[in-house]
Amino acid sequence: MEYTIREAQIEDMEQVLNLVQELADFENEPNAVEITKTDLIKDGFGEQKMFDCFVADTNDGIVGIALFYSRYSTWKGPAIHLEDLIVSEKMRGSGLGTALLDEVVKYGDRMGVKRISWEVLDWNEPAIEFYEKKGANVLRDWDVVHLDEKGIKNYINNIG
């Protein structure tokens, strides 16, 4: 299978959103995706650029993405967070995940970041095995915490 890894363009955002939805379905959160193509275009290509994205492009369209942005560690310094590494289910096992991750790590190395971080579901053993093979550490004692939009509003109402 022939593919090209390249930077995402505005025209790709519909297919990027489709892959985000496909991953949400896989993660048993089919109704969690609230953003729209318009949001992705504004947030990825507007005045306040909030993420970068590589896509795996084929004759059949975009079959994988790696979407990331800057973070900061008060222990290590500048970092990158890989928000989504997605390969369409029909393309799994084709080396696309590695090709996309390669680009992100090379980008991080060029930028001199001290860490690349991401998050994984603890039952997603194929993903965990893949990441560990790449040299990443899965920190099983660190949990992710979210205060969601409704939680923010409730919090604000409670402090008056």
Of 42, 40, 37, the C-alpha closest to 14 is: 37
- Judged by CB under 8 A, the residue of 5, 22, 33, 37 near its own copies is 33
Q: How far is the CB of 41 from its own copies (least distance, A)?
A: 12
- The footprint of its own copies on residues 133-152 (CB under 8 A) is 134-149, 151-152
Binding of its own copies at residue 10 (CB under 8 A)? Answer: no
Task: For residue 25, count CB atoms less than 10 angstroms from its CB and return exposed for 0-12, middle for 13-18, buried for 19 or more.
Answer: middle
In degrees, to the nearest 5, what angle opens at C-alpha 109 toward C-alphas 123 and 91? 45
Q: Which residues bind its own copies (CB under 8 A)?
A: 20, 24, 29, 32-35, 39-40, 43, 50-51, 67, 69-78, 81, 83-84, 102, 105-106, 108-109, 113-123, 128, 131, 134-149, 151-156, 159
